[in-house]
Amino acid sequence: MSGFLPVTAREMEERGWKQADFVYVIGDAYVDHPSFGHAIISRILEAHGFRVAIISQPDWKDPESIQTFGRPRLGFLVTAGNMDSMVNHYSVSKKRRRSDAYTPGGVMGKRPDYATAVYCQLIRRVYKNVPIIIGGIEASLRRMAHYDYWSDRLRHSILIDSGADLISYGMGERSIVEIAEALEAGIPVKEITFIRGTVYKCRELPEGADILRLPDYSQLAADKLTYAKSFYTQYCNMDSHYGKCLAEKYEDFYVVQNPPCAPLTTQEMDDVYALPYERTYHPSYEALGGVPAIAEIKFSLISNRGCFGGCSFCALTFHQGRTVQVRSHDSIVEEAQKMIQDKDFKGYIHDVGGPTANFRRPSCQAQLKRGVCPSRQCLFPRPCPHLEVDHTDYIALLRRLRALPGVKKVFIRSGLRFDYMLADKDDAFLEELCRYHVSGQLKVAPEHVAEPVLQKMGKPSHQVYTEFSRRYRQVNEKIDKKQYLVPYLMSSHPGCRMKEAVELAEFVRDLGYMPEQVQDFYPTPSTISTCMYYTGVDPRTMEPVYVPKNPHEKALQRALIQYRDPKNRDMVEEALTLAGRRDLIGCGPKCLIRPKGGQRAEGQAGPKTSGSRSKKGAQRENENPRGSRRKTEERDAGQRRKKTIRNIHKKKGS
C-alpha cells in the first residue's frame, strides 16, 4: 500500500476505509512535502486519527469530479494551492502565464480562476449541507473585504463568495485540529465560532463579546478612505497576544474574524516536520512529466517561519505573522539526513531558510511576552533600539549541516535581510556566508534607491545598502574571493514617479550592468502596498500617495531600469523627457542613451563601458548607416550582458 494518502476510491478501499472523514480538494498537484500546505494539514489530521482523502485539481465543470470518495463523514477541506490562483494564472500585466509549476508537466489551465470559491460552489451543487472549511494563502488573504487587482474592485470576504462555512486562516496547524475535533464531537459547523485562527458567519454578534466592529461592506465599497482605515485596523490586530475579534457586516449578517492562533513552539514546529511525508509528488504524475515545483524544494530545508521585516508589499504579516518561529537543529539535521539518502541527491542542499533566512529568533524578548509592537516596525525606518541581532544560532546550524557526510555544499537562497546583517556587532556571519554559502553571487533585495519609494516600501535607506555593499566587498577581499552582489529591483511601486524611476536607472548605470529580471509591483491581496494602490493613500498615515497605474507609464519605468536593451531606447527617451532629464541623453559617460542616429557630438567621448564601440565599428557605421545603429546596439548589449557580473564591483557604489 502506498504511503501517500488515497487519491482514488480504490486506494481508499485498500486502506480498509468505507468513508473518509475529510475529503481535501486542492488546486495543486498532490505533493506530499512539507513545503506544500496541503501536505502539512493532511498529515496533521492523519496524526490525530482522522482519515483524509485527496482530490487534486478536479474538473470544475464536472460535478462528478468532486464525488470520487462520496460524501465525507465530517466535511470538505478546500484550498487553491500554494499560490493565489490569480497570481498563479496571470502576470502583473494581466497576461495569461504559459506554465504552472504546481501542475503535472507544468501544464497551464488545470485549475479555475478564483479556485477556492469555484471548488466550493461545485461541492455545494452536489452536497448541499456538508461542512466546507477553506484555507491556504488564497483564503487567508481574502478572508475579509479586499481589493482584487484582476477585477479592479473591492470584493466580499471569500467566505461570502465561496459559500464555505469556515476559514482557517494563517498557518492552520492549530485551528484545523480544533475544527476537526469540534465536528467529531457533533458540534454543528454553524456553531463553531470559538476557535482562534478562524473566520465564520453569523446573523447576530454575541452579546457582551469583545468584538471590534469594522465599517460595513457597503461603506467600504463606497469610500476608499474608509477601506484604508479598516484595512489598517486589521493589520494592527494580527498578533495573538493583543489581536481583537473583528466583525464586518454584509447586509443582514456578519463575517467575524477570531484573533490569530498563537505561534508554534520549537517543539511543535519539530513535530510538524517529523510527520511521515513521502517528500515528493504522487507517482501517478510521473508519466505526465512530474511536478516542476519539486525541483527547487526537494533538497531545501525550512528552518523558520514568520518575519518581522515588515515590507509593505509582502503579505507575510497577514499570513504567517511577524513572530519568528524556528525548528531545532536536531529536527533540521534529521531531515537533511533523509535527503542525503535520496537517490537523486547530488551533495547540494539548495536552501536553509524561510521567509527571511537569517531570522532565527524573535526580534526581542518583550515580543514573546507582549507581542510585536502594533505601531512600529523592528527594522524600519531604522533598527529598533530593543532589536536583538544575533546570528550565532544560524551559524551553528549551517556548520552542522556542512559537516554531514555526503554534503558538498549548503546554499542559502531564501531572502537575507542585509540591514539585519549590517546591524550585527561583527562580520562573523557575513564572512561565513561568503566563505561557504555563496556561489559566485549573492542576491539581496534593496528594491529601490529613491528615499520616497523606500519609505513607502518599508525598506531601509539606500545608504544602508551602500554600506552593506562596501562591507560585502571587504569581506570577499579578505577571504580572497571574487563574488558579486546582485540587487533585486522593483518598478512602479506606489510613491514612484518618473523622477524616482530615473534615480533607479542611474543606480543601475553606476553598477555597470543591466538586470535581466525586473519585478513590476504586483498588487496581491491584503498588503499595505496594495491598499495604497487601490486607495491612493498610505493607510499608516492616511497621507496621499502617488500611484503609477497607467500601463504605459509602468512600461516606461520598467524600461528605464533596462535602458541598455536596444528595444527600450524610444521608451527610455520618452521617460527621460517626461522626467525633465534629457541631460541623460548624449554620449557622455553618465548618459543612459545616445542621441537618435548615434552621432557623436564634436569632441565628446563616448560612454566608458565595456560595450563602447571601437574605431573600426564606428567606421563601419559611417560607411553603412542604414540599419547599422540597431546592429551596433544589439552587439553592444550582448557584450554588456556577458560582462555584467564581472563589472558590478569595478565601479564606485557597487
The pLDDT value recorded for residue 636 is: 56
The pLDDT value recorded for residue 516 is: 77
Q: How crowded is residue 640: how many other Cβ atoms within 10 Å of its Cβ?
A: 19
Question: Taking the CA atoms of the chain, what radius of gyration do you get in angstroms?
Answer: 27
The pLDDT value recorded for residue 608 is: 40
Q: Exposed (0-12), middle (13-18) or buried (19+): which is 653, by Cβ within 10 Å? A: middle
500: three-class secondary structure by DSSP = helix
Residue with the larger pLDDT of the pair 365 and 516: 365
Residue 13 amino acid letter: E
CB-based contact 363:324 (threshold 8 Å): yes
**Spacing of C-alpha 473 from chain mean position:** 28
Nearest-angstrom CA–CA distance, 364 and 373:
11
Q: What is the pLDDT of residues 443-473, one digit of tens each?
A: 999 999 999 999 999 999 999 999 999 999 9
- Residue with grid cell 551559524, as numbered in its chain: 395
Q: Per this entry, what is the length of the chain?
A: 654
Q: Are strands 146-148 and 198-202 parallel, antiparallel or unpaired?
A: unpaired
Q: In sequence order, what are the beta bridge partners of 544? A: 537
The pLDDT value recorded for residue 296 is: 86
Q: Which three cell numbers stand for residue 19?
A: 468513508
Q: What is the pLDDT of residues 123-181, one digit of tens each?
A: 999 999 999 999 999 999 999 999 999 999 999 999 999 999 999 999 999 999 999 99
pTM comes to: 0.89
Q: Which three cell numbers stand for residue 83?
A: 499560490
> Any residues with CB less than 8 A from the CB of 257 and at least 6 apart, and which?
143, 144, 169, 199, 234, 245, 246, 247, 248
Q: What share of the chain is helix, strand, coil (3-state, %, to 5)?
A: 40, 15, 50
Q: What is the pLDDT of residues 275-332, one digit of tens each?
A: 999 999 999 999 999 999 999 899 999 999 999 999 999 998 889 999 999 999 999 9
Q: Which three cell numbers stand for residue 560?
A: 528605464
Q: Which three cell numbers stand for residue 327?
A: 525548528
Q: Which three cell numbers stand for residue 266?
A: 520549537
Q: What is the pLDDT of residues 350-372, one digit of tens each?
A: 999 999 999 999 999 888 889 99
The pLDDT value recorded for residue 513 is: 79
- Peptide bond just before 381 cis, omega within 30 deg: yes
Cα dihedral value 352, 354, 356, 360, nearest 10: -70
Q: How crowded is residue 182: how many other Cβ atoms within 10 Å of its Cβ?
A: 18
Burial 1-35 (b: 16+ CB within 10 A, else e): eeebbbbeeebbeeeebeebbbbbbbbbbbbbbbb
CB-based contact 273:34 (threshold 8 Å): yes
Burial 317-330 (b: 16+ CB within 10 A, else e): bbbbbbbbbbbeee
Q: Which three cell numbers stand for residue 76?
A: 470538505
Residue 397 has pLDDT above 80, yes or no: yes
Q: Are strands 537-538 and 543-544 parallel, antiparallel or unpaired?
A: antiparallel
CB-based contact 359:367 (threshold 8 Å): no
Q: Are strands 166-168 and 543-544 parallel, antiparallel or unpaired?
A: unpaired
pLDDT band at 515 (very low <50, low <70, confident <90, very high): confident
- CA angle 215/219/221 to nearest 5° reads 120
Tell me what percent of the residues of the chain surpass a pLDDT of 70.
91
- Look at 382-396, 483-497, 500-514, 636-650 and tell me which has the smallest mean pLDDT: 636-650
> Any residues with CB less than 8 A from the CB of 590 and at least 6 apart, and which?
506, 509, 584, 607
Nearest-angstrom CA–CA distance, 378 and 384:
5
Residue 430 amino acid letter: L
CB-based contact 44:275 (threshold 8 Å): yes
CB-based contact 648:484 (threshold 8 Å): yes
Nearest-angstrom CA–CA distance, 502 and 518:
15
CB-based contact 496:548 (threshold 8 Å): yes
- Look at 269-278, 370-379, 486-495 and tell me which has the smallest mean pLDDT: 370-379
Query: Could you tell me which of 359, 210, 21, 465 has the C-alpha nearest to residue 5?
Result: 21
Q: Which three cell numbers stand for residue 94?
A: 494581466
Query: Could you tell me which of 60, 201, 192, 71 has the C-alpha nearest to residue 120?
Result: 60
